[in-house]
Structure formats: structure tokens, C-alpha cells
């Protein structure tokens, strides 16, 4: 719980914060991803028609790639060892090139 206020202070203009301690479920439970989409007012499936696109990045295959995939979110792995996105700039380029 201590990280929530820190993240909000560092990134004050994000559209939503899907903190597990606030939502009451943890990754990779589908409810955490769905609830975060609800906070963003994103309806999964709309991204195919070009309305909005939601992606996730993290360092856990189970929680950050496979978990979001349960509800139709594209998950990307952050791998600082060179296998996958190695930093957020690389991730952003990868996501934009996937369009």
C-alpha cells in the first residue's frame, strides 16, 4: 500500500491507477484487469474497431502477459536482459509498431 501515493505523486496525470490493494484482487486474476479498464472507461473489444487500445507491460509472464490476455489485453514483457522490451521507450516503440 505504501507505493500507491508515491506512484500517484510521480505520475499525477495518469488516467487511472489499478492498485491491487484498492481493487481487492491481485494479478493474475481477471478482475484486476477488468476493473482497471472500467476505471479508464475502456470496453474491451473496442480496440479492434480503433476506438481505444489497452496494453500492459511488466516483468512477469504469468501476471503481466498471460493474466491480461484472459480479458483480451495485449501483455508485453519487460526484460532487462535483452529478451523482449528492455525499457519503456523500447516498449512504446514495440506497441506503436504493432498497430
What nine digits make up the cell of 10? Answer: 510521480
Ramachandran area for residue 22 (φ above 0: left; ψ -120 to 50: alpha; else beta): alpha
Give the model's pLDDT for residue 90: 72
Give the residue-averaged pLDDT of 67-91: 77
Domain housing 90: 3-97
What is the tens place of the pLDDT at every residue in 25-42? Answer: 999 999 999 999 899 888
Is residue 20's pLDDT more than 90?
yes
> Which has more pLDDT, 44 or 67?
67
pLDDT recorded at residue 27? 93
Total domains, the chain:
1
Percentage of the residues of the chain whose pLDDT score is greater than 90: 28
Residue 99 CA: distances (Å) to CA of 20, 27, 34: 29, 26, 22
pTM of the model: 0.73
Q: What is the pLDDT of residues 2-16, one digit of tens each?
A: 889 998 999 888 888
Amino acid at each position: 500500500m505504501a507505493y500507491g501515493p508515491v506512484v500517484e505523486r510521480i505520475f499525477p496525470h495518469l488516467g487511472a491507477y489499478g492498485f491491487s490493494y484498492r481493487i481487492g484482487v491481485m494479478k493474475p486474476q481477471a478482475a484486476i484487469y477488468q476493473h482497471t479498464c472500467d476505471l479508464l472507461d475502456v470496453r474491451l473489444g473496442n480496440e479492434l474497431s480503433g476506438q481505444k487500445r489497452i496494453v500492459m507491460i511488466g516483468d512477469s509472464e504469468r501476471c503481466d502477459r498471460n493474466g491480461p490476455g484472459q480479458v483480451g489485453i495485449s501483455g508485453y514483457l519487460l526484460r532487462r536482459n535483452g529478451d523482449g522490451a528492455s525499457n519503456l521507450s523500447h516498449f512504446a516503440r514495440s506497441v506503436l509498431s504493432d498497430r
